[in-house]
Amino acid sequence: MHFLLTALFLSCGVAGAQELPYFVTYSHHLEEPGNLEIENKTAIAHPQDGNAFLGSAIEFEYGVAGWWTSELYLDGQTAAKEATTFTGFRLENRFRPLLREHWINPVLYAELEDTNGADKSLLEVVGHDGTSDLAAPVHESSPEKQREAELKLILSSDVHAWNLSENLIFEKNLSNQPWEFGYALAASHPLALHGVPRPGSFAPQNFIAGVEMYGGLGDRHAAGLHDTSHYLGPTLSYALPHGVSAMFSPSFGLNGNSLDHIFRLGLNYEIGQLFARER
């Protein structure tokens, strides 16, 4: 068994493609086929009427085909003066129905999630999500089951080195709750358009800067902006050597129902061609 695992990993390479600096928004760029990306996304915030928390999601993203990416997320959270708990998992798939680049590229996203009310990974904001959901003590919120199906329509374009991405989110709690809606928008641009022969660790070509905005759009019974939360913030990704990349974004709440700010950190490692055969 050890031999097989060793042989598997020896046959892998490290892949180092640049990541877009988005925490909530998806673009049309899927995982490269055969590559496995392991990523940690962390959200740190302090609700006014609750304890500071750190919500985290570990993501395993595998490129099944050029037009299909599959992911597993494991979520957890820790809150000041409260417990550190595992809060659930998500399974998602993304499909590109059109196999060429167009001025706008659609991607279909389907997710099943089984989390509890203490989940604070903030991978999306939908419906009437707000500070009160995040301020509840863990012992009160964790018994609440969130078995949800989520669909997203991802639209994304690459125009003159800009990436522009728009997501519409439709989420349904399977325990007879109404459909909830949300959105995420993002734009980004690399700091350098040309490569250099021997880029240093801090060469501009290793950075992509952008801006991201996301929020809820109510539910089927009360669609719109009333009683919803929204966030906006700059974001930056940095491709480190050896297949590692890091992301950082401070997001700022845009209304009274939002957290004042969320600090987001991401760390990503990509293993190239997990099951490739050597010639």
Partner 1 sequence: MRSAVVLAAALALSSFAAGASSNWRAHVPGKEQELTDPLPQSADNAAAGQELYRRNCSGCHGADAAGRGHKPSLRSSHVRSASDGDLFWLLRNGSLAHGMPSWSLLPEPQRWQLIQYLRTLPE
Q: Which residues bind partner 1 (CB under 8 A)?
A: 13-18, 20, 27, 29-30, 32-35, 63, 65-67, 96-101, 158, 160-161, 163, 190, 192-199, 205, 239, 272-273, 276-279
Minimum gap (Å) between residue 161 Cβ and partner 1: 4
- Closest separation in Å from C-beta 214 to partner 1: 21
Tell me whether residue 76 or residue 190 sits nearer to partner 1 (CB atom).
190
Q: How near is the Cβ of 167 to partner 1 at its closest, in Å?
A: 17
Cα separation of 266 and 57, whole Å? 10
Residue 35 or 87 with smaller CB distance to partner 1 = 35
Residues 6 or more apart from 32 whose CB is under 8 A from it?
A: 15, 17, 63, 272
When the beta carbons of 31 and 219 are compared against partner 1, the nearer one is 31
Nearest Cα neighbor of 23 from 247, 181, 215 is: 247
CB closer to partner 1 out of 126 and 239: 239
What are the φ and ψ backbone dihedral angles of 167, each rounded to 5 degrees? -125, 135
Long-range contacts of the stretch 165-174 (C-beta < 8 A, 24+) = 165/20, 165/22, 165/25, 165/26, 165/27, 165/28, 166/25, 167/24, 167/25, 167/26, 167/109, 169/124, 169/126, 171/124, 171/126, 171/127, 172/148, 173/146, 173/147, 173/148, 174/147, 174/148, 174/149
CB of 157 to partner 1, least distance (A): 9
Residue 195 CB, shortest distance to partner 1, in Å, is 4
- Residue 89 sits at the vertex; the CA angle it makes with 118 and 212, to the nearest 5 degrees, is 75
Q: Report the nearest approach of partner 1 to the CB of residue 208 (Å).
A: 9
Closer to partner 1 by CB, 13 or 234: give it.
Answer: 13
Q: Which is nearer to partner 1, 156 or 228 (CB)?
A: 156
